[in-house]
Amino acid sequence: MATTDPLDLLDPDERAGLRPAEARFVGPMLATLTADHFSDPEWIYERKLDGVRAVVVRDGDGTTIWSRSEKSMTDTYPEIAEALGRGPALVADGEIVAFDGPQTSFSKLQARLGLHDPDRARATGVAVFVYLFDVMVVSGCDVTALPLRTRKRLLRAAVDFADPVRFSTHRNTDGEAYLAETCARGWEGLIAKRADSAYRPGKRSDDWLKFKCVREQEFVVGGWTDPTGSRQGFGALLVGVYDGDGLHYAGKVGTGFDGRVLHRLRERFDGLAADRSPFAGTVREKGTHWLRPELVAQIGFTEWTRDGRLRHPRYLGLRDDKEPREVVREEPPA
């Protein structure tokens, strides 16, 4: 059971450094991809979940759920908002997921994408959970300057964790062994976090690092190709990433769709049709149709080729929690 005031857990010096803060949206802290996997007693390691980032805001009027781009998702996941409805005021960071067997499945969440009617959202039959892993505001105070371990302690005290609300557990020190276990289980990867780090709202930081087992990221959809053979709807998506001011073509994605997804996406294309290619440079594909670059898709792939194309890409789903202009090629720093 959550304590009456989680801040009672802090020592006088910690409390003296807190600043007043309202319970309202805080831009989430972002992790940096790295290929340098390590073990360190000054770091903790959390499972990287394949879902939708969520900022939970609870105040005297109830609980609201925001996407990382500050779009309301409260009615998309009403059971989560209801489960978090009681307790001290807070702003917490987490990930909303659905499961396919033991694995979190971004594709399964697609049934809820764009739904803003609580009854329709529940009627999908897709069970959802939120894993909370950090807290930025507690009981009217900004706690972002406190160390991560302390913030996680406050989070545990501020929330009654029972399904569909879950606490994101972590392991200490042994990042390499945990990553090997994670990859063997078919998980997406880990987030390594410096244990004494502050929370940096809206910032990408080297204090949080992504260890990935598989490669995937967001891409902007700029067009589609005609279907061939018995295929219905469309043949492939034409996708790209921003680099400077231009949208640079990254290749076509023709796998990962079933008949229902092909039909739903094709319907959306009609309202986004464009006369000209949104891509910088020439795209040499047959049977192309251009779109305004407003849709963001999650794409899995094996690697980037030398000419900046995706090898073996597969469609995982649409995202509505990231603006197209934020989509850039995600690579570990050299």
Q: Catalytic residue positions? A: 48
| CA pair distance 151, 136, nearest whole angstrom | 8
Residue that is written with structure tokens 């764009």 in the block: 114
Complete DSSP assignment for 92-153: EEEEEE-EETTEE-HHHHGGGTT---HHHHHHT----EEEEEEEEEETTEE-TTS-HHHHHH
Side-chain half-sphere of 198: how many Cα atoms within 13 Å?
10
Cα dihedral sign, 24-31-98-224 = positive
| CA pair distance 325, 107, nearest whole angstrom | 23
